[in-house]
Amino acid sequence: MVKSLILCEGGDDEAFIRLFLKSLNIDKRKIDIRKLSSKSNFFKLETYKNENILAKIDSQYNKILFLFDSDYKESGGKHNGFENSESSIKEMILKIKEYLEFEFYTDYYIVCDPITKNGNLEHLILSTLDKDSKKCMEDLLSCIKPYHTDSNKKILLTGYKTIFKEPLYNFSHPNFDLLKQKLEAL
C-alpha cells in the first residue's frame, strides 16, 4: 500500500500529529510519521538518503509533508525564523526532486504562533487557548521570566496539562485550520 509520509522533528511533534489525525478521522494506516531528530536534519540531502526515505518515494510514499518549528530568527541559526525556514525547505524540496528526477506531492507546515510567526509547537498550541487559560499562562510566564525561561513555552504547556484536566487541544480553533488542510490533503 502506498502511503503518505509526515516528517517531523521529535516525539512531542509525533504525538501531537497522531492526536490531530485521530480528531480528523484520518486512517492512520495510510500515513507514516518519521522523526528526523532535529530541525537541521530537514535541510541535508544526506538525512533522506541515510534514513532510507528517498528509496521509498514513489514505491511506498506518494506524498510527503515536512513539519517543523519556525524557532526564532534572532537566535541566529540560518534556518531559524519563518522566512528562513520557508526558504530552506523549498530549496531542500527542489534538491530532493532533482536528485530523484521525478515529481511527487510535497508540502510543508512551519509550526509557530500564527500571529508572530515565531516559536514552535508549544507556541501554536498556546495560541489556541481560551482567554482565561491564556491569561493564566501569560501570568505564569511573567512570573518565571526572571529565570530566563521566557522563550521556552514547553514549561507552560507542561504546566497547563498538569493544572487543567480538560482537553488541551482545541482542534476546531482557526489557528489549526491551515495544518488541518495540509493533513487532509495527504
3-state secondary structure the chain: CCEEEEEECCHHHHHHHHHHHHHCCCCHHHEEEEECCCHHHHHCHHHHHHCCCHHHECCCEEEEEEEEECECHHHCCCCCCHHHHHHHHHHHHHHHHHHHCCCCEEEEEEECCCCCCCECHHHHHHCCCCHHHHHHHHHHHHHHHHHCCCCCCHHHHHHHHHHCCCCCCCCCCHHHHHHHHHHHCC
Q: How many beta carbons lie within 10 A of that of residue 158, not counting itself? A: 11
Q: Where are the domains of the chain?
A: 3-128+171-184, 129-168
pLDDT exceeds cutoff 60 at 151: no
Per the prediction, the chain carries an average pLDDT of: 89
pLDDT exceeds cutoff 80 at 138: no
Q: Residue 154: its pLDDT value, please?
A: 66
> How remote is the C-alpha of 118 from its chain's centroid?
12
Q: Residue 143: its pLDDT value, please?
A: 79
pLDDT band at residue 157 under the 50/70/90 scheme = low
Which class would CATH give 3-128+171-184?
Answer: alpha beta
Mean pLDDT over 11-28 rounds to 93
Q: Residue 75: its pLDDT value, please?
A: 80
Mean pLDDT over 144-154 rounds to 63
Q: Residue 164: its pLDDT value, please?
A: 64
Give the pLDDT confidence of 83-119 residue by residue, as tens digits. 999 999 999 999 999 999 999 999 999 999 999 999 9
Q: Residue 183: its pLDDT value, please?
A: 98
pLDDT exceeds cutoff 90 at 172: yes
Prediction pTM value: 0.89
pLDDT exceeds cutoff 60 at 167: no
Q: Residue 140: its pLDDT value, please?
A: 77
Q: Residue 77: its pLDDT value, please?
A: 84
